[in-house]
Chains A and B, each alone.
Chain A
């Protein structure tokens, strides 16, 4: 079985640009999570979907961050407009509904200049 796939692996953006990160969860998983990882803040939840429905929208990240699940096997995270403080690794994870084990993708490293 393929694990969680994330593209691109690296992204460099200018301040003010719009970027879209992509995630394909493990086939059959119902839950999908987007996290932001930085050295200072650690792992922060951005969005959480169950069966394509948005369950949590990450509070402080609402303004410029928008996650969507177009179908059960594809999700996007849009950041618009980007700011230098958005530089981080963005991780996508999926799991079966009710399962404790989240499967993580390798992440997308975003650098905003």
Chain B
């Protein structure tokens, strides 16, 4: 069985500051990993994905994530956040492409303007 842990339920940062949202996964092999974002009253949108190759992947809106096999982690980062980045961020994994996703519980990000 697989699982995803996002240890921080809420994160608050000031506009312009750097950001790291943490994600740890549990799976017997290297899974496909994703970060989704959910803005208020909207569905989830894909930010970025990883399934092989360069462990640092780039996504939309200057987000990037770094995969670490040794740490079983896939942390999301951004160099300088904007107030519009305030949203809930979900880390997810899939053992195969095109099948169901296992989501973490999400991290609610508040950016102080």
Give A contacts to B, CB under 8 Å.
Answer: 4, 31, 33, 42-43, 45, 48, 56, 91, 93, 95-107
Contact = CB atoms under 8 A, between A and B. Distances in A.
Contacts of A43: 90, 101, 103
Interface in B21-52: 32, 34, 36, 41-46, 49, 51
A98 B45 contact: no
12 contacts: A31-B98, A33-B100, A42-B105, A45-B100, A93-B43, A96-B98, A100-B49, A100-B51, A104-B45, A105-B43, A106-B41, A106-B42
Interface residues on B, range: 20 to 34
A41 to B, nearest CB: 8
B97 A104 contact: no
B39 to A, nearest CB: 10
A100 B34 contact: yes
Given A43-B90, A104-B36, 10 more contacts: A31-B98, A42-B90, A42-B105, A43-B101, A43-B103, A91-B44, A98-B98, A101-B49, A106-B43, A107-B43
Interface of B: 32, 34, 36, 41-46, 49, 51, 90, 94, 97-101, 103-106
Nearest to B106: A42
Contacts of B43: 4, 91, 93, 103-107
Contact of B46 (A45, A101, A105): A101
Contacts of B49: 100-101
Nearest to B33: A100
Contacts of B44: 91, 93, 102, 104
B106 A95 contact: no
Of the listed residues B34, B90, B100, B106, the one surrounded by the most CB atoms of chain A closer than 10 A to its CB is B100
